Structures are given as structure tokens and as C-alpha cells.
Amino acid sequence: MMRRPMHRRETPAPAWVLLSLLAFAASAASAQSLPDRLKSILASPSATASAIEGGRKISQFCANCHGLDGNSKLAEVPNLAGQNPIYLLEQVRKFSAGERRDEWMEPMIKQLSENERLNVVVFYSSMTVVPAGSKAGSADGQDLFSHRCVQCHGPQARGGERFPRLAGQQHEYIVRSLTRYRNRTGERIAPEMFAMTAALKDSDIQALADFLSSLK
């Protein structure tokens, strides 16, 4: 009589093996850079909608300075509405790392988790910017922008992933930022901006701010 082959019982994997696999999967997920995670969110309408709602809740802490919809009510505080999300995320990183200095922004951002940072960036970038300036900019400001700024910030001053949107930005914020770059006060470090602003007079900075703050 032939014996039936005995089936070998599968031994469950030890708990440490399962934990190692889970840890590896979590590590692989976290290895994805924040800019890549942001791009993945923006590529999915449902993920974008979810991030906007998450960011809207977080933005309540920012509204006193940046406004409920990212349009600042304070002349010295920048509009965040309509800003490029990749650019915004990089500024968040710089504040967190101390590469960009501000007594209010640095401690606020350091309290945010990675997911919260992504959400608030998506929220502000999805808002519509309202031009801060009400009067038309001068021809001098437009000429200065065309010769000094357009290569990086674009013909309509809408910026991109590396350079900020300047169209519709707060007048006083532009004046302060350009003056700080020219005077190299240390709040922000950008060699290309140091070079661009080095020869600017105060009147040039005012003309640029008039032009840029009025752009739609």
C-alpha cells in the first residue's frame, strides 16, 4: 500500500520578521521627499481637495497676519494666495532650518508636522490673489522689472518653483524685501538677489513695488 505524502505545515513567520517588513515599508514611504509628495497630492484631484480642507484648518493660526484666504491685511506681510506650491514648501523648509529668519514664522512652522506643512501649502496655492496695489504702476517700475527681474520671475511676474510670484504682492513687503537684499541684512540669503539689488536706489525700489503690487 502506497503511503499518502504528508503535507508540510507552514510555519508562521516570526513576529520580528513581520515587524522588520513593516518598518522597511514605512521607511520607503518616508524616504520620498516632501516636494515629491506634494507633486503626488497635486496630481490627484481627491488628494488635493483633502489637502485644501486640511490646510484651511491649519491656516486659522495664520489668518491674523496672512488673511483668511492668503491675502494679507498687513502691508509688511506677504500675500500667500496664488503662490507656487513648490516655492512655498521650500520657504517653509528654510524657516524650519533657520535659513530664512523671522521671529514669528520660525517657531510657528517648527510646530507643524510634515503632513500639516503639505496641507497648508496646497491650501494657500489654491487661493486667488487680490492685487495689493490700487494704482497703476509707473513706467519706470515696469522698465526696471523688464531689465532686472523678468528672467527669473517671468514676464507676468508669476514666478515658478524656484522664484516667487510677485504680481499683486504687498507693496511694503516688496520694499522691505528688496531693501534687505540690497543691504544684505541677513534675513534672507540669495546671491542672485544680492546681485540684482546692489545698484538699486530707494526710488528704484519704490517704483518696482508700485508696478508689482498693482499687477493682476
Q: Which residue, of 126, 159, 187, is where some domain finishes? A: 126
Does residue 172 sit within a domain? yes
Residue 9 inside a domain? The answer is no
Q: Could you tell me if 105 and 186 lie in one domain?
A: no
In a domain, 21, yes or no: no
150 and 175 assigned to the same domain: yes
Under the banding of pLDDT at 50, 70 and 90, the label for residue 118 is very high
Q: What is the pLDDT of residue 132?
A: 75
For 150, the domain range is 139-214
Q: Please identify, among 99, 126, 153, the residue that sits at the C-terminal boundary of a domain.
A: 126
Which residues lie below 8 Å from residue 54, measured CB to CB, with a gap of 6+? 115, 116, 119, 120, 123
Give the end-to-end CA distance of the chain in Å, rounded to a whole number.
92
| Out of 6-10, 14-18, 78-82, 138-142, least confident range | 6-10
What is the pLDDT at residue 12?
57
Q: How many domains does one find in the chain?
A: 2
With a pLDDT cut of 70, the percent of the chain lying above it is 83
Domain co-membership, 145 together with 75: no
Residue 26 within a domain:
no
pLDDT at residue 210, rounded to an integer: 93
Residue 166 lies in a domain: yes
pLDDT of the residue at 61: 87
Looking at the predicted structure, is the pLDDT value of residue 116 above 90?
Answer: yes
Torsion of CA 108, 102, 65, 127, to 10 degrees: -80
CATH code, domain with 150: 1.10.760.10
**Are 161 and 186 within one domain?**
yes
Under a CB-based contact definition with an 8 Å cutoff, are residues 101 and 179 in contact?
no
Q: Who's near 92: CB < 8 A, 6+ residues apart?
A: 109, 112, 117, 120, 121
The confidence score (pLDDT) of residue 180 equals 94
- Of 105, 126, 147, the last residue of a domain is 126
The overall pTM is greater than 0.85: no
Tell whether 41 and 113 lie within a shared domain.
yes
CB-based contacts of 193, cutoff 8 Å, min separation 6: 181
Evaluate whether residue 10 is within a structural domain: no
What is the predicted pLDDT for the residue at 30? 52
pLDDT at 103 over 80: yes
Residue 32 has pLDDT above 90, yes or no: no
pLDDT for the residue numbered 40: 96
Q: What is the pLDDT of residues 38-76, one digit of tens each?
A: 999 999 999 999 999 999 999 998 999 999 999 998 999
Q: Are residues 40 and 101 in the same domain?
A: yes
